Structure 1
Amino acid sequence: MQQTPSNNRPRFPSGGDKRLEMRFDKAFPVIVGSEIFGDAPAVARNISLSGMMIEMADPLPLGSFVTVHFRMPDSGHDIVARAEVKHQYCFNFSREGGPLRARGVGLRFVEFISESGELWQETLSRYRVLH
């Protein structure tokens, strides 16, 4: 990663992974709450310290702010975060029986509620040691 002189933002080589943090491929249930769209069950598929990709039946609009409630596997603590919808995804694939699709959104955490931030960092630190 290189620094650009004009704005000191990282510049990445083309085609490289632009992720700044380690990601974990975990699948676990989450509840996504929105003041406008209500609560919706979803499944977290890919998670890092700064955000997560979740699969949900009806993806929320880009720029929406939501509250995400989740519990990491092997952790007894509930984590609550405010997040912004930054990306929308549609995965098309096929299985025996025909074509299927899965839809989801990429969320960027903007804040953790109460002690959730410390619990989240502690949980991810534990996973880094295990892998």
Structure 2
Amino acid sequence: MFERPQERRSHLRFDKVFTVYLSTNDGMMRGVGRNISARGMFVEVRDAVGLGEKLKVTFAGEDGTEMTCLCEVRYQVALAFGRKDGREGSSRGVGLRIVAYETHDDAPLLLVDRERVMH
């Protein structure tokens, strides 16, 4: 049989589905965050986002707290598939590298270690 590839990621990943809000140069959009780590995340989005683009991702907790991070688009994924009912379906997402975290609106960004991480 096939051997399972060795995991190369060094950071613990949190595999949960959660709503995020992305602020881009073109405006704001809602996304579905998945598979987040200390250095990056995957977000399902409706519209394409350019490779290398910098954007802000805001997480909103159920208690009203928010956290925002500055991210860079590292890769894009587009998937087309057939549904059981015969119609076409599709999904799109982006892999993001977290560059910095906002601590307060009036404070500078808290930079993340500049180690090169591929997501």
TM-score, length of structure 1 as denominator length: 0.67
* Count of matched residue positions in the alignment of Structure 1 and Structure 2: 101
**1:78 partnered with 2:69:** no
Separation in 2 of the partners of 1:59 and 1:25? 23
Deviation at 1:71, TM superposition (A): 2.8
Name which of 84, 94, 107 aligns with 1:96.
84
Cα RMSD between the aligned structures?
2.2
User: Which residue does the alignment assign to 1:26?
Assistant: 16
Separation in 2 of the partners of 1:22 and 1:113? 21
1:4-43 paired onto structure 2 within 5 Å: 15-34=5-24, 36-43=25-32
What percentage of residue pairs aligned between the two structures are identical? 34
Q: Any unmatched runs of 5+ in structure 2?
A: 111-119
4+ runs deviating over 4 angstroms: none
Separation in 1 of the partners of 2:18 and 2:72? 20
More helix by share: 1
